[in-house]
Structure 1
């Protein structure tokens, strides 16, 4: 989710929002590098600024990062994200954000994810008068950044096969959830969920296709989480709009249908690129499993934000985490929601663990790790 992830949501006052911690078991150097894409759920610092992204408070301020890093790293959490836990479980360093690469930072991969990103090109929202003055990046932007990065590695096409091979060999492509912001932009407009879904899935599919054509062999694609469980959504939707786990039914249905379409698209890509391993990470069901039995995962609070103000969900979109007057809870690991729009490190770790060894990837990510290991 994102600079725009929040911004779209915050400024639009829409309840249609969306939207890693240490692995106990490591898989030493099965991959030499990771390239990550996505929105604010995956962004490790591409939206760094003096005051944080417009529309979502101050991610550059405390208490962001307080649990693990002990200072803000411009991650939208109190600590690590799913992608950070993935890197740790593969014995790789945390991924540097593309916009702030230094020297040899990129040796073990790069993170192109940026908060607020959409799946659909930003121009679509501009043309439909749905754009606000927020981060204009989309997943196509991230592909452009990746292509520019390849050039810095000497990979410029057929005549530089050796350099290109080095950039892609033993690389894991991790495509974090992206698309929630698109629905947020369209709230209150005449553009239907169906249109957003079709355009969004097509856009992501096009980017995946491009990466696969360039040489990506190992790819994990996250679905959307149940965005109706976030404090922002809960605080804006009518209390009559609830599902079996107490979250906003309309939003969770929206992301569920989106994920079905995405999975169909991934199956088509598997047929087009049989030499590649394309894995779907089921964020939707991972989140639901935690919601159904929070105490099993160490959580006490399912809905309230750890960092925020206001009743009943400790969330007020005009007084958000990172502002001087806002404090955080004393026990973030007991909370699922961090700031009302993003998750705590503890929740990101729970999701990561389900992806790596909990069977919520299709085909099983553990099989890929075993295959690479042998």
Structure 2
């Protein structure tokens, strides 16, 4: 009897612990801050602070204010985190200047170095009290924050723009992913625990790629996108997903969510009417050509006519009906639709809604 009773007590205790665990895992996360790493898809002013005004789309969530760009010294508020992203950033450092290639010198390793520097310096500033205390994150916020990554697109296009074949670009993808994993491990070593990682979008559907790298019609899919370039993006994404699986093994205290942004974006382009759009691959704001894109006269661009500057890079009449904004980035309406598709976790691995991204993936019983 005692043996059976003991087993019953153990079983009951285990059920209680399991119930408590499940209840805890269902509690929404309360991220006090976000630290973002990326390129122009999430830049809130980093490149502008370095090289002059850059146009960028914006989106918000989690009921936190827009993140101040780490590089912007004017009017910054880092209470709720910081944004290290800059337009044109890559994971792997480029061997060209921004004037030569258009890609940012602030690669992911540089962004991490900025974060590494920001963490102690923010606390030194905060200890001064007054306004400094009000503009800096608390020390404990770094371990409770959400660390977001949206980068990799430029690593692929940088090779293509150097006239590399997709095979040649694929050859260096493993090195790019190794460098990405190293940065995630570094953030983890600094106390980061919650990671929200976007894969890269369908680069073969972007006007700046379609216009700059003409391709035979036979290699276009039904949506008008370049099939080989989208296959390249999916190749990168498969590698990224495998890297995330490995990171989960190496970083046992981390909760890492892999987000399939590619599927969300391609859905808008391949099924625009379903999402309320009319123009899937032409730029809303641009000038000329099949895709309303001109790398020399972009959105907001002007030409000289009879001694006067004339605006020719104009926005379309109703941007809410267009997927692409300026040939590179999505419109605000399209970004909102992408967010709506990923926020509930249906396109994530594990299928984790954003508000539950602080919970680690549970190991399945063998």
TM-score greater than 0.5 by the shorter chain: yes
Give the one of 186, 203, 210 matched to 1:210.
186
Q: Which has the larger radius of gyration?
A: 2
CA distance in 2, matches of 1:117, 1:370: 25
- Indicate the residue corresponding to 2:173 in structure 1: 197
CA distance in 1, matches of 2:186, 2:50: 34
Indicate whether 1:300 and 2:278 are aligned: yes
CA distance in 1, matches of 2:279, 2:339: 19
1:100 CA drift (Å) = 1.0
Asked if 2 retains the 8 angstrom alpha-carbon contact of 1:29 and 1:90, the reply is no
- Indicate the RMSD between aligned Cα atoms, in angstroms: 2.8
Asked if 2 retains the 8 angstrom alpha-carbon contact of 1:180 and 1:224, the reply is no
Greater relative contact order (CA < 8 Å, ≥ 6 in sequence): 1
> How do residues 112-261 of structure 1 correspond to structure 2 at under 5 angstroms?
112-122=84-94, 125=95, 132=101, 135-154=104-123, 165-185=139-159, 187-189=162-164, 192-235=168-211, 236-238=213-215, 239-261=217-239
Secondary structure of the structure 2 residue equivalent to 1:208: helix
| Alpha carbons of structure 1 residues 286 and 151: separation in structure 2 relative to 1, 3 Å | same
CA distance in 1, matches of 2:188, 2:100: 31
CA distance in 2, matches of 1:50, 1:322: 20
CA distance in 1, matches of 2:354, 2:169: 35
Secondary structure of the structure 2 residue equivalent to 1:105: coil
- Indicate the residue corresponding to 1:96 in structure 2: 68
CA displacement 1:281-305 (0-9 Å, x = unmatched): 1111111222232122221101110
CA distance in 2, matches of 1:173, 1:346: 24
1:244 CA drift (Å) = 4.3
Gapped regions of structure 2 (runs ≥ 5): 1-26, 125-136, 303-310, 360-366
CA displacement 1:156-209 (0-9 Å, x = unmatched): xxxxxxx98524132000111324245424532589112331121111111011
Secondary structure of the structure 1 residue equivalent to 2:117: helix
Asked if 1 retains the 8 angstrom alpha-carbon contact of 2:50 and 2:71, the reply is no
Q: What TM-score, normalized by structure 1, do the two folds share?
A: 0.75
Runs of 4+, deviation exceeding 3 Å: 49-52, 101-104, 130-134
Indicate whether 1:351 and 2:338 are aligned: yes
Asked if 2 retains the 8 angstrom alpha-carbon contact of 1:35 and 1:172, the reply is yes
Asked if 1 retains the 8 angstrom alpha-carbon contact of 2:70 and 2:84, the reply is yes
- Aligned pair count reads 307
| Alpha carbons of structure 1 residues 49 and 145: separation in structure 2 relative to 1, 3 Å | closer
1:223 CA drift (Å) = 0.4
Secondary structure of the structure 1 residue equivalent to 2:316: coil
Secondary structure of the structure 2 residue equivalent to 1:322: coil
CA displacement 1:278-333 (0-9 Å, x = unmatched): 00111111112222321222211011100011121111112111213211101011
